[in-house]
Amino acid sequence: KHGRMEYLRRHSEKKGDMEKVLPGIKSVISLAISYQIPKPSNQSLENKESSPSRGLIARYARHEDYHDALKKPLEDLCNQLTRLNDKDHRHLAYLDTGPIMERDLAQRAGLGFVGKHTNLINRSLGNWFFIAEILTTLSLEPDEPERNRCGTCTRCLQACPTDAIEAPFKLDARKCISYLTIELKGSIPEALRPAIGNRIFGCDDCLEVCPWNRFAKEGALMKRFRKNDLETPDLIHLLGMDHQTFKSTFAGTPILRSKRKGFLRNVCVALGNTGTREAIPSLEQACMDPEPLIAEHAEWAIERIKSRITKLTSE
């Protein structure tokens, strides 16, 4: 169930026949690039994550856009492949961009196994990695496919705030917070807004609880592209951003994908869920935003905060 992500339907014919992607293809090299971020070493950052004025951004988005950051290293690897092998060989490199079944190819290549949350898990990297592929006409010795190692664990199913993981290996993207805060362009269904909490771009909950993460080490390559100022941004400050400030603040990051109206929509929901009386003036200002999407969610947030205040004072 992929919601409104119609691009997932594209190139279905090519996905079933790799020869149509690269004529003469013999092998696929699957790559994993870790974006693991170490746990906070001080209590103050942990406190910020649970603060009513702070938002949470998915780990991968706290870096420069991985498509841009990893383009050069992937090109360098392809060039090295050419130098070491037949100069007449052909190849194509993809980083979450090609008409191929990346996750399935990665499992067949032994890079990892698909967890019950439908994401790929690597025994050394845990859940925190991007995958890329090099399609080549070279004939290479294949690795053994990885077998599933979830066992009886169901932590990811239990952790999902919206019950989007309906059963092992079955995800309803329409309820997934990553879909709601990134892919969905319109209004977030009211019934799902409370479960979003203070997440303003993506959600890591199902990834975070996976036991295989205990072996994951910090990603050395992606560390160079990390945006530390995106750890726990102030929600009220974010709500005051105009178009130019939004673009300059998130330049080069995946967050630009949501555009200002989508991102501030998310900020309004987060403030509605966790904000205090201090957030109301900023939300009232957002109610007058020329973007109806922002105004609608700001109005909802104000009512939710007021309802929470009323409940607290009556107890």
**Does the pLDDT of residue 25 top 60, yes or no?**
yes
What's the pLDDT score for residue 8? 52
What's the pLDDT score for residue 45? 46
What's the pLDDT score for residue 89? 86
What's the pLDDT score for residue 144? 95
Strands 27-34 and 199-201: unpaired
What's the pLDDT score for residue 217? 87
Spatial neighbors of 288 by CB under 8 A, at least 6 apart, are: 295
According to DSSP, residue 137 is labeled S
Q: What is the mean pLDDT of residues 239-248?
A: 97
Kindly report the average pLDDT of the chain as a whole number: 91
Q: What is the mean pLDDT of residues 92-109?
A: 93
Highest-confidence segment of 4-8, 50-54, 169-173: 169-173
CATH number listed for the domain at residues 234-315: 1.25.10.10
Contact 205, 117 (CB under 8 A): no
Using alpha carbons, list the distances in angstroms from residue 263 to 90, 109, 179, 226, 302. Answer: 41, 37, 13, 20, 17
Tally the residues of the chain: 315
Strand, helix or coil for residue 155: helix
Which pLDDT tens digit goes with each residue over 116-170?
A: 999 999 999 999 999 999 999 999 999 999 999 999 999 999 999 999 999 999 9
Question: Which range has the worst mean pLDDT, 37-41, 47-51, 157-161, 283-287?
Answer: 47-51
Spatial neighbors of 273 by CB under 8 A, at least 6 apart, are: 193, 194, 196, 197, 198, 304
Q: What is the mean pLDDT of residues 288-304?
A: 98
Clarify whether 96 is annotated catalytic.
Answer: yes
Catalytic residue among 86, 96, 104, 163: 96
**Does the pLDDT of residue 3 top 80, yes or no?**
no
* 3-state per-residue secondary structure call for 187-235: CCCHHHHHHHCCEEECCCHHHHCCHHHHHCCCCHHHHCCECHHHCCCEH
Q: What is the mean pLDDT of residues 69-74?
A: 94
Percentages (nearest 5) of helix, strand, coil residues in the chain: 50, 15, 40
What's the pLDDT score for residue 6? 57
Contact 206, 118 (CB under 8 A): no
**Does the pLDDT of residue 15 top 60, yes or no?**
no
What confidence tier does 85 reach under pLDDT thresholds 50, 70, 90? confident
Which pLDDT tens digit goes with each residue over 244-282?
A: 999 999 999 999 999 999 999 999 999 999 999 999 999
Cite the DSSP H helix spans in 62-202.
66-69, 71-84, 102-108, 155-159, 177-178, 193-196
**Does the pLDDT of residue 41 top 90, yes or no?**
no
Where do the domains of the chain lie? 6-136, 234-315
What's the pLDDT score for residue 14? 57
Contact 132, 31 (CB under 8 A): yes
Q: What is the mean pLDDT of residues 182-193?
A: 98
